[in-house]
Homo-oligomer: A and B are copies of this chain.
């Protein structure tokens, strides 16, 4: 199944290259035993024997040895047919060709097969009791304004129902964390981020809220709605072939930082959102799904700091959450323990 070599180094004849390699490459490395399926020495051992002999970088050797073992185990378990293999080659080739600066199909594939979540969990263990994390996603920008607690994130003309969000940022000992900052970015009421509007002038539905000294961080905004991950490429085909859909549940994204504490990247979900149990990228953990309040009383809106002009649909969603950060020392101790 190899392909045609159309490129040759014109400064060297094939003969000269071969003569040079004949000197440097040992000849019989992988020919001592014949490989055969169903014996103790299969193609898998044959490939890993060759890697053992030739690969000098221990990490590269470990990664490719593991890759070959698991890839072969997959092919054996499924008895993958040549037609299925050809379809996979076509899908992977399309995935590369159709990837752009704004959409990478291999990242989407990693997300939709649960690999991205797994790598995050393996790389970032967090102590029991600390808020769970999830992936940052592609919509974070660095231009969000820094605002005091209690401010609105919303520019004129933003679509969506009014939202009041109130949180505390505490440590594992239950103490408020001084100097905590809550960076939020979110979709609007039509499921779109500001960067998806071609006429974007400045940050909208984004801010870095500075918590009060007692760890309270409040903002006003709009209720985000669900939106789909891109499904116009081979990953979309894969989702359809497996009966899945591309729609992420509604959510708010957060980076939460504080001096001496491990930065938390996470997202929160309202419990009434559709798609919570069928998230295409597996980022909806139970502890991040929030019971929601609703206020239709203008007197209460005023107490929450909202003006009637902010509430165009006659109701305000009330969302409360208590974030818990682990200290750098607590995370380091956990990592040391896992080794």
5 contacts across the A-B interface (CB closer than 8 A): A3-B103, A5-B103, A50-B244, A60-B242, A75-B122
Chain B residues positioned under 8 Å from A332 (CB to CB): none
Q: Given that A43-B117, A286-B31 are contacting pairs, would A78 and B62 also be in contact in the complex, using a CB cutoff of 8 Å?
A: yes
Inter-chain CA distance A82–B93, complex, in Å, is 23
Q: Is A110 engaged at the interface, CB distance under 8 Å to the other chain?
A: yes
Q: Is A72 engaged at the interface, CB distance under 8 Å to the other chain?
A: yes
Chain B residues positioned under 8 Å from A243 (CB to CB): 54-56
* Interface pair A276/B107, CB less than 8 Å apart: no
Q: Mark A44-65, 1 if CB is under 8 A from B, else 0.
A: 1011001100111100111110
Q: How close is A263's CB to chain B, nearest CB, in angstroms?
A: 14
Count of this chain's copies in the oligomeric assembly? 2
* Interface pair A276/B93, CB less than 8 Å apart: no
Q: How close is A123's CB to chain B, nearest CB, in angstroms?
A: 6
- Given A1-B110, A75-B119, 20 more contacts at CB 8 Å? A2-B111, A3-B107, A7-B232, A14-B226, A14-B227, A27-B276, A27-B277, A34-B287, A42-B118, A43-B118, A47-B114, A50-B282, A55-B244, A67-B78, A67-B113, A70-B71, A75-B115, A75-B118, A92-B106, A93-B99
Name the one of B25, B28, B89, B108 contacting A3, with C-beta atoms under 8 angstroms: B108
Chain B residues positioned under 8 Å from A242 (CB to CB): 51, 54-55, 60-61, 64
Residues of A within 8 A of B (CB): 1-7, 13-15, 17-18, 21-22, 25-31, 34-37, 42-44, 46-47, 50-51, 54-57, 60-64, 66-82, 84-85, 88-89, 92-99, 102-104, 106-108, 110-111, 113-119, 121-123, 125, 135-139, 190-193, 195-196, 225-230, 232, 238, 241-245, 247-248, 274-279, 281-282, 284-287, 289
Q: Given that A78-B66, A278-B29 are contacting pairs, would A97 and B97 also be in contact in the complex, using a CB cutoff of 8 Å?
A: yes
Name the one of B26, B50, B96 contacting A92, with C-beta atoms under 8 angstroms: B96
Chain B residues positioned under 8 Å from A21 (CB to CB): 245, 247, 274-275
* Interface pair B118/A2, CB less than 8 Å apart: no
Inter-chain CA distance A248–B34, complex, in Å, is 17
Chain B residues positioned under 8 Å from A138 (CB to CB): 1-4
Closest-by-CB residue of B relative to A73 is B70
Inter-chain CA distance A3–B274, complex, in Å, is 20
